[in-house]
């Protein structure tokens, strides 16, 4: 998204903003367990091997137990 702002004195600036409109994964939280499920049926992450989209499989707020 391109955001442009212009002030009354004529100063103008812009900024690029990245957004995800319709993610292909969802994270479910309950009873100290968090797990991400993707639209393709994968568990853990939606972007293996980067593992940045999703929570993986976590217990009690710890690190992901998937490797």
Q: Tens digits of per-residue pLDDT, 1-59?
A: 888 999 999 899 999 998 888 889 999 999 999 999 999 999 999 998 999 999 999 99
The residue with tokens 């995800």 is 20
pLDDT score recorded for residue 28: 95
**Is this prediction's pTM over 0.75?**
no
The CA distance from 14 to 25, in Å, is: 31
Predicted pLDDT at 66: 87
The count of C-alpha atoms lying within 13 angstroms of the C-alpha of 26, restricted to the half-sphere facing its C-beta, is: 5
Q: What is the pLDDT of residue 2?
A: 85
Say which residue, 65 or 67, is predicted with more confidence: 65
């Amino acid at each position: 998204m391109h955001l442009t702002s212009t002030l009354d004195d004529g100063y103008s600036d812009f900024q690029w903003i990245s957004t995800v409109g319709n993610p292909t994964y969802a994270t479910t939280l309950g009873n100290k367990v968090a797990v991400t499920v993707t639209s393709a049926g994968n568990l853990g992450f939606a972007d293996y091997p980067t593992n940045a989209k999703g929570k993986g499989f976590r217990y009690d707020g710890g690190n992901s137990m998937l490797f």
